[in-house]
Amino acid sequence: MCGIAGILYKDQSANAMVGKALIDMLDGCQHRGPDSTGFSLYRESRPGHLRLRFIVGEGEDAKQAIARVKAKLEEFQAQIVEEEHKGSSYAALVKFDGDLPKFAFEMEHAAKLSSIGESLDIIKDLGGAHDVDRIYKIENFQGTHGIGHVRLATESDVAPEATHPFWATGFADISIVHNGQITNYYKMRRRLEKQGYFFNTDNDSELIAVYLADKLKHGITLKEALKSSIEDLDGTFSFLVSTKDEIGYAKDRLAAKPMVKYEDDKIIAIASEEVSLNRLFPGRALNTTEPAPGTYETWQRSTLA
């Protein structure tokens, strides 16, 4: 059992309190996943820049990992503009406009890579939403939209790298959070690996991110990709996906994994349980809806007024 949450601001503001909103929502469903918590945070991009985040650990291991990352960045002539080392992660904003798949592949061999994006920054660690916030100051993050996850480990390690969200390796700004199990994981993974895609973990949820990225690469819209996922992925699942300007969900036909959404003229918010949505509007009676089995939907910032 895990919990998912996502929010997108319709007014196209780049300064919405996305971090605080996600903390409130994830804290509301923390009972669904006490082991670890993660956030995909999106902001306006800076042309010609990429934001990278790595899981490097602490102490001497961290020093060595950061040194490897910096050496690899220098090899690619990627200039560090900003950097920070907090908790078990190291993040850097770099100037780079080269071959992203090749760059990502090489960076993954320098340290455990959480994300690369023009807009995306994935922050994840052990503990609850407030535990992670105390280290990384998530509450202060201002941006455009985001998704998050609280995890109860069932099939893989309790470790930062096994924590959601998952980034679609080699594709900037695509991330997912997932509640459920993909039962044809190995079959689908082998199919994607034969096409040259790379996986960082053995977590079945990572498959969803790579699967959707492959669809987008071939010119399929996110909405069409979500429709295909219901056909192609076996198992029980409710998941959220986000790109640099879009957010969406898919829910399998069995509908064993809960999901509820709230929408008004300012936001679209989606979560595993209504208690998470109520945290956004304390004391208000919300007109929420539960997506039907086998459904999917997307919302795009660029088309929202």
- Scanning the chain, the segments in alpha helix (DSSP H) are 18-28, 59-75, 100-108, 129-136, 185-194, 204-217, 222-232, 274-278
Run means of pLDDT, 10 residues per run, the chain, 305 residues: 93 84 96 94 94 95 97 97 96 94 91 95 96 97 96 77 89 95 96 92 92 96 98 96 96 94 94 96 90 96 55
222 backbone dihedrals φ, ψ, rounded to 5°: -60, -40
Q: What pLDDT does residue 116 have?
A: 95
Q: Which one of 1, 2, 123, 299 is the catalytic residue?
A: 2
Q: What pLDDT does residue 305 have?
A: 41
Q: What pLDDT does residue 13 have?
A: 66
Question: In angstroms, rounded to a whole number, what is the distance separating the alpha carbons of residues 118 and 112?
Answer: 19
Amino acid at 218: H
The answer for residues whose C-beta is within 8 angstroms of residue 8's C-beta and 6 or more apart is 144, 145, 247, 267, 268, 299, 301
Q: What angle do CA 208, 268, 161 make, to 5 degrees?
A: 35
- For residue 30, give the DSSP letter: G
Domain ranges of the chain: 3-38+143-303
3-state SS class at 140 = helix
Question: In angstroms, rounded to a whole number, what is the distance separating the alpha carbons of residues 165 and 37?
Answer: 9
Q: What pLDDT does residue 304 have?
A: 44
Distance of CA 89 to the CA centre of its chain: 16
166 backbone dihedrals φ, ψ, rounded to 5°: -115, 135
Q: Please give the structure tokens belonging to residue 21.
A: 């909103």
Does this model's pTM top 0.85? My answer is yes
156 backbone dihedrals φ, ψ, rounded to 5°: -140, 175
| 2 is a catalytic site residue | yes
Question: In angstroms, rounded to a whole number, what is the distance separating the alpha carbons of residues 221 and 235?
Answer: 23
* Domain at 3-38+143-303, CATH from 3.20.20.70, 3.40.1260.10, 3.60.20.10, 3.40.190.10: 3.60.20.10
